[in-house]
Amino acid sequence: MEYKKYENPFPIQDQAIPYILQNRDLVGIANTGTGKTGAFLIPLINKVFSNRNEKVLIIIPTRKLAFQIDEEFNDFSYGMKIFLHFVLVEQIFEDKFTICEEIQIL
């Protein structure tokens, strides 16, 4: 959070994060640029940081959104030694596809 220079959460984050931390399902609707990505990434990063044995699967519908989430993840988790790897559908069918064990978020 310090790396992103956040002082206060966006409204979607303020409302969503407590529910996600309680393992509750949530649908959040907000305009572009209002912190939706952080609203779900921050509690997931917290979960993995608190327990390094945790694994997370995020299903993302588009390549563009996958790159956006990757960028935001790297900013939010800066210096925490938490690793994310995203897999494009076409990669799954390649013979070389493997996931190393140190990946916590896929």
What is the Cα–Cα distance from 28 to 32, expressed in whole angstroms? 12
Q: In the beta sheet, which residues pair with residue 56?
A: 105
Using CA atoms, how far residue 68 sits from 25, 38, 45, 53, 75, in Å, is 23, 11, 16, 25, 11
CATH number assigned to the domain covering 11-92: 3.40.50.300
Per-residue pLDDT at 15 exceeds 90: yes
Each residue's pLDDT tens digit, 44-100: 999 999 998 888 888 787 888 888 999 999 999 999 999 887 777 666 555 555 655
**Domain residues of the chain, as ranges?**
11-92
Position 49 scores a pLDDT of 94
- pLDDT (mean) for 24-33: 88
